[in-house]
Amino acid sequence: MDVLLIHILNSLLYASVLFLIAGGLSLIYGVMRIVNLAHGNLYAFGAYVTAWAIGTVAAGASVPVLLVLLPAGALAAAILGAVLEPTLLRPFYKRAEEYQLLCTFGLLMILEDLMRFIWGPYPLSASTLFESFGSLPVGESIYPTYNFLVIGVGTAAAIFLWAFVYRTKFGVVLRATSQNMRMASALGVNVNRVYVQAFTLGCFMAGLGGAIIVPSQSAVLGMGVDALVLAFIVVVIGGLGSLEGALVGALIVGFVREAGITWFAEIELAVLYLIAALVLLVRPAGLFGRP
Amino acid sequence: MSTLAPALQQTGSTDKTLRVAVPIAVLLALVPLVVPPYGAILLAYGLVMAIGALGFNLLLGYTGLLSFGHSAYFGVGAYAVALMVKYLKVGSMELFLVGAIAASVLVTALFGVVCVRYTRIFFGILTLALSQVLWSLAFKFFWVTGGTDGLRVPTPSLFGGLVTGAGDKTAFMSHAYYYYVLIMFCACAALMWVIVNSPFGMALQAIRDNETRAEFVGVRIWRYRWVAFLVSGVFTGLAGALWVPLNGLTTPDIMHWTFSGEIVFMTVLGGFRSFAGPIIGAIVFNYLKTYAIGYTVYWQLLLGAVLVALVLSLPTGIVGTAGKLAARFRGRS
Q: pLDDT by residue (tens digit) across B170-221?
A: 777 777 888 888 888 989 988 998 888 888 888 888 888 887 887 777 778 8
Q: Mind telling me how many Å the CA of A79 is from chain B's nearest CA?
A: 20
Preferred mutation among A108, A273, A282 to probe B, highest tally of B CBs within 10 A: A273
What is the mean pLDDT of the segment spanning B309-326?
A: 81
Please identify among residues 96-115 of chain A the ones whose CB lies closer than 8 Å to any CB of chain B. 96-99, 101-103, 105-114
What residues form DSSP beta bridges with A135? A144
- ipTM given for this complex: 0.80
Does residue A32 register a pLDDT over 80?
A: yes
Q: Which of B118, B136, B301 sits opposite A110 (nearest CB)?
A: B301
Comparing CA positions, the residue from B76, B64, B56, B75 lying closest to residue B282 is: B56
Question: A267–B303: do the CB atoms touch at under 8 Å?
Answer: no
- This prediction has a pTM of 0.83
Comparing CA positions, the residue from B78, B39, B3 lying closest to residue B248 is: B78
**Confidence class of residue B7 from pLDDT cuts 50, 70 and 90?**
very low
Please identify among residues 230-259 of chain B the ones whose CB lies closer than 8 Å to any CB of chain A. 257-258
Which chain B residues touch A103 with a CB distance below 8 Å? 307-308, 311-312
Range of A43-57, A82-96, A259-273 with top mean pLDDT:
A43-57
**Amino acid sitting at position B47:** L
Does residue A158 register a pLDDT over 60?
A: yes
Per-residue exposure over B91-121, b if at least 16 CB sit within 10 Å of its own CB, e if not: bbbebbbebbbebbbebbeebbebbbbbbeb
pLDDT of residue A203: 93
CA distance B160 to A154: 62
Q: Provide DSSP, B64-121.
A: ----S-HHHHHHHHHHHHHHIIIII---BHHHHHHHHHHHHHHHHHHHHHHHTT--HH
CB contact at 8 A, A244 and A238: yes
**Confidence class of residue A95 from pLDDT cuts 50, 70 and 90?**
confident
CB contact at 8 A, B177 and B246: yes
Which chain A residues touch B303 with a CB distance below 8 Å? 106, 109
What is the mean pLDDT of the segment spanning A202-217?
A: 90
Does residue B2 register a pLDDT over 60?
A: no
Please identify among residues 128-147 of chain A the ones whose CB lies closer than 8 Å to any CB of chain B. none
Does residue B73 register a pLDDT over 90?
A: yes
Contact status of B130 with chain A (Cβ, < 8 Å): yes
pLDDT of residue B8: 41
Question: B307–A98: do the CB atoms touch at under 8 Å?
Answer: no
pLDDT of residue B5: 41
Contact status of B299 with chain A (Cβ, < 8 Å): yes
Which chain B residues touch A88 with a CB distance below 8 Å? 308, 312
Preferred mutation among A84, A107, A108, A113 to probe B, highest tally of B CBs within 10 A: A113
**Confidence class of residue A199 from pLDDT cuts 50, 70 and 90?**
very high
Q: What angle do CA A215, A128, A126 make, to 5 degrees?
A: 40
Which chain A residues touch B122 with a CB distance below 8 Å? 280, 284
Contact status of B25 with chain A (Cβ, < 8 Å): no
Q: For the ranges B58-72, B134-148, B153-167, B294-308, which has the lowest average pLDDT?
A: B153-167
Mean pLDDT of chain B: 82
Q: Which of B114, B301, B306 sits opposite A114 (nearest CB)?
A: B301
Contact status of B268 with chain A (Cβ, < 8 Å): yes
pLDDT digits (tens, 9 = 90+) for B220-275: 888 888 999 999 999 999 999 999 888 888 888 888 888 888 898 888 888 888 88
Q: At what angle do helices B120-140 and B257-270 cross, to 10 degrees?
A: 130
pLDDT of residue B231: 92
Query: Of residues B320 and A104, which shows the higher confidence score?
Result: A104
How far, in Å, are A18, A43, A178, A286 from residue A158 at the CA level? 11, 17, 19, 19
Contact status of A221 with chain B (Cβ, < 8 Å): no
CA distance A169 to B2: 37
Please identify among residues 311-330 of chain B the ones whose CB lies closer than 8 Å to any CB of chain A. 311-312, 315
